[in-house]
Chains A and B, each alone.
Chain A
Amino acid sequence: MRYFRHLLCVVAFMFACISANAVGHGTDENGSIDLQGILFGHIQDSYEWHITTVNGHPVVLHLPVIVKSSTGWHVFSSGEFSEEADAAGNRPGPYGLYISGSEANANKICEKVDGAEVRPFDISITKTVAVLFIDAILLLLCVLIPARWCKRHRPEDPAPKGFTGLMTMFIMYIYDEVIKASLGKEADKYAPYLLTCFFFIFIANIMGVVPFPPGGGNLTGNITCTFFLALCTFIITNVTGTKAYWKDIFWPEVPTWLKVPVPLMPFIEFFSIFTKPLALMIRLFANMMAGHAIALSLSCIIFIMFGINAVAGASMTVVSVLMSVFMMLLEVLVCFIQALVFTMLSAVFFSLAHVHGHAVKE
């Protein structure tokens, strides 16, 4: 019960932060709530890290911009872009660059070359990249600290306690229940990749739930991140695939008329090579993005209802807080489940690509 109360406090605090965050940059000129602006402002990438707004002044972390435009490499702070948009909706900055307000390149750095809007070669440290760095450092700490313990101790020493014990247990849970269960003897070959995937996704997910820096970013809810992870799984699956795996794709054991005049089954099998990682990518992305969207929407309900009248707002606040607490807890569960699902499916794809003919399978 005591722990539950602590948890409640933490969640309420998170919720308060989200609310403050949301209301900070969410109101447009006539005072109503710009829900879409709030949602996309949070879910999408940006060149600065908006933390909160105090007395109308936004508290923003300006992140470095690294671009190679038509005039060469430029590295400068994103604070050099003006706060106000010009007539075209663009926010001008140095070197002829501006943050576009156009439909095609919304909120991206662009430049005008021969009158046309083009995107320069842009490897800026955006908010999501910063979050990626933070998550990567956290991941390294979470794994290298236990690894260091393991290096410095012999098997006959007493069991590790505290953080090392927790991480060891966690890692071995994934290793035994997911990786070993799917891959069997091949487990050790793929384990580092799968474990890295799992903990990378898990830490990114959890850090996304934390509503204030260093958390609060939307890394795994960004399709680029899930695209890259799915691409890795895709490459490993097909590069380490055995002969039997490729034979099953191009010459599966089905009635001949399904593959000879019209290669129906080979076509379907070949297509499935791409759909599998695609499903991985979309699943993780959609789940995490939806989680963020729901958390923000539930907070925004309060302000929308206050816009109608105070009584509706006050009564809705209670409902919204309860719903947010519930969603927050659910979201923590989803963080774990999605990381687990990604890892488990990757492991299953690897094991499917590792068939050694049908004799071995049985």
Chain B
Amino acid sequence: MTDQESPYIGYVVGGGLKNNLNVRLTVPASQVREGSFVVVESGDDQFYGLVTNLQLGATDPRFADEQSENRFPAHLASLLHGQTLYTNLEVMPALMLDRGPDPASPDYETWRAAHPEDKSHAMPVKTVPAHHAQTRNAHAGDVAEIFGNPLKKGNFIVGSTREHGHPICINLDKFVQRSSGIFGATGTGKSFLTRIILSGLIHHDRTSLLIFDMHNEYGFDDQATDTNQKVPGLKSKFGSKVTLIGLGAGSKVRGLSPDSNLQLAESQITPEDVLMLAGELNLRETSATTLDALVHSFGRESWFHEFKLLKNGALIEDEKGKKIPAPDSVAYWANQNGVNAFAAEGLHSKLGRLFNLSYISQKPPNNALQEIILTLEKGKHVVLSFGDHETDLDYLLVTNTLTRQIRAAWEKKTNDFRGKNAQEPRPLVIVVEEAHKLLNREMASQTTFSTIAREMRKYYVTLLIIDQRPSQIYDEVMSQLGTRISGWLGDDADISAVLSGLASRESLRGMLSRLQPAEEVLLLGWGVPMPIPIRSRRYDQQFWEELLGDASAGNQTKSIDTIMGELGY
């Protein structure tokens, strides 16, 4: 059967905009699944919707209660069941399209005059289809009409419809206009899906990516935890388009040398960076005053280094034998600058965790932060691997410091573009793994990320957050996410968080908890025309062949088994 011959599967028997549509199924229930993309044809209008529920019904409950197949001949029982037992689909209407009358009909000219544009566009549902309007499965043309033509540049296939395998695209240009999120419980394929989308964005080449790679899995090739198959990294596939940076001097990523290393200069650590770590370092309210005094005393670039050199608790004896703070001690400095000595010593003690970090040095060989920004401005992509630095403090400090500078740079570029006709900034997507560490309710206020999620869209910077516990992410950030892609979630709070702010979330709730792990994801939010569960694209050889062409895909080293298989052995 070709797509164009899609048979009708039912007809509308009731419902409304608030309570979804009820469609009486005329084919066996096994032919339709929750999440199916269906089309309701009603006059000139076509309604696009999602099956959110299948409900068994009977014209009289007694028909359902009694097993009439045991009482009547099979054929008779079948006829009886066909007339008295039924399945109703609950269809959530999402979009409608005015197709206009048949071009051969006399009304067509009038309609065409009122709709001069060549192509009608689907719009949010404003009305309901008529009773008995026929319903059918969406065919490839319908899917392309709503989710975009896969052949059009900028449309990137992320998966396919579950029943018929029609390709589902996201528009990458739209995707990066607002912050996005990829969610799913552990083992549901988040990392693979992220790789797929990042590959699409890199290949599309309209956006720069800064990937905070906590687990060192996006740069070089990795190994799948479940299948032990080799998983190509972005650096392996895109070569010089992707710059891999390791945190700390001489750091290695999976035993290999990155393109460069990130070492922070002590002069780059600002009081603001420290205050953002208030929660992690358990700083007191007096810390801000002390930090102000440090900057006033040593200067904005030297305070960190000078404070580090001060000795905590060092004492000397005066002429009378009384112990007083040594001139190179924290207390001495505090007394000289009108700061509470205990507060200063407490701050010094807590900053000890920063003073000891191996990737902060007084004079690093290069200004790595600036180089990262320049790399991103040039249109390249940066994967920052944290190597062995896996603590929350490392993650918070580095991401904050870097992001704060990026924010300043992109704000300046945007203002120059708007005020001085400078070149338009290249859109930047900051990819944050384990996002709940940076964007939880306590941390969100300390980091730049919540500001980026809320305000930086205007400055061409958006976030792509990846997490397994969306409920731990600050509501204000979640509400700003345009596109949400979610794999299976079991926790009610996580499901609620992913669906927050969306209409029809009650209808989608069950769908999310019944997704097939590692196979299916739910696309929803501003970035997609309508919510839809899809079978996600496989991150395999075929993916690379389709994205880059056969030659590039062949860069991968083939295993002996693969080669032997291809030779027919």
Decide whether A and B are members of one complex: no
